Amino acid sequence: MASATPTRNGSSGGEGKASNAKNTAEGLARQANSPWLKRLGQVGVAAIGVVYLLLAWISLQVAWGSSEQSADNSGALQQVAEQPFGKALLVIMGIGLIGFAVWQFLLSIIGPPSDDSAFKRLSAAGKGIFGALLAVQSLRLGLGGGSSNSSDKTSDFTADLMGAPAGRVLVVLLGLAVIAWSGYMVYKGVKKKFLEKLEGHPGRNITRLGQAGWISRGVAFGVLGILFVVAGVKSQPEEARGLDAALKTLAEQPFGQWILTLVALGLACYAVFQLVTARQHKEG
């Protein structure tokens, strides 16, 4: 009898831990799929659509030499702030983006509904970080704070990274990672993989908008990745200055004005897709 007690206790302890872990996972799943969080996250999806719509407009102006705004998230949000009721809209967008970030972080733990692979979980975590950063920018501007230049931040980050041991190699690897990610976005656009995150089919025309949008984002971020690689190879952190620099570099190439115009129209397509399908998103 004495020898049976530890076995029974050990078994009970193991079962208790397993039961607690299961309860925690089920609780997270309920939170991620709760209607209120999902709706708040979908507001965040729409907010991202607004940002990309303004980014497309700024990019179009950059292509034709009529804008001094930063062609990145900070420039787009600044445009919102300058409109009537813009600051109130930024606060609403910021709250929605917080919901989007929480939603994505929960999905990174339990796995998205369409695919709970490690890659999809990592992707959800990345979206959560993006949403959180965008939420901070939105709320800061909406509540009367200043806006910092994200291109300068990127350059400073690259300079700090280069100062680390094997820093130039790390910057080049970061650039290659961005290029690989941009290639994946193009792949998602061509193969219509973005439809997996929606509940129901949005229709042929909206799907085409999504395809144009994902491919255009891939092109824009691909140029950004190339700038990181160039910065690492040349040991010149000022070469890597964010999405604004990537789009302006694109405009400076032969036929760049027309290429950037096409990219801007593609970003607008992505924005419209996000806005129209926001309520259909089941995982962001």
**Cβ 270 vs Cβ 211: under 8 Å:** no
Give the start-to-end residue ranges of the domains of the chain. 37-147, 149-273
pLDDT at 154: 66
**The residue to which tokens 């407009």 are assigned:** 57
The answer to whether 271 touches 53, Cβ cutoff 8 Å, is yes
pLDDT of 155 higher than 70:
no
Q: Which amino acid is at 6?
A: P
Q: Identify the band that residue 46 occupies on the pLDDT scale cut at 50, 70 and 90.
A: very high
User: What was the pLDDT predicted at 36?
Assistant: 81
Evaluate whether 251 touches 260 at the Cβ level (below 8 Å).
Answer: yes
Helical H segments across 143-203, by residue range: 150-162, 167-191
Burial class (CB in 10 A: 0-12, 13-18, 19+), 246: buried
The reported pLDDT for the residue numbered 1 is 45
| 274 exposure class (CB count in 10 Å sphere: 0-12, 13-18, 19+) | buried
Residue 270: pLDDT band (50, 70, 90) is: very high
Phi (first) and psi of residue 166, to 5 degrees: 55, 35
pLDDT at residue 233 in the model: 83
pTM of the model: 0.77
Q: What integer is the mean pLDDT of 16-33?
A: 59
pLDDT at 8: 47
Compare 113 and 258 and report the one with higher pLDDT.
258
Cα–Cα distance, 86 to 143 (Å, whole number): 11
Give 47-81 pLDDT, tens digit per residue.
999 989 988 888 888 888 766 667 677 778 888 88
CA 94-97-103 angle, to 5 degrees, is 150
Give me 266's structure tokens.
């593609």
106 within 8 A of 31, measured Cβ to Cβ: yes
What integer is the mean pLDDT of 218-227? 88
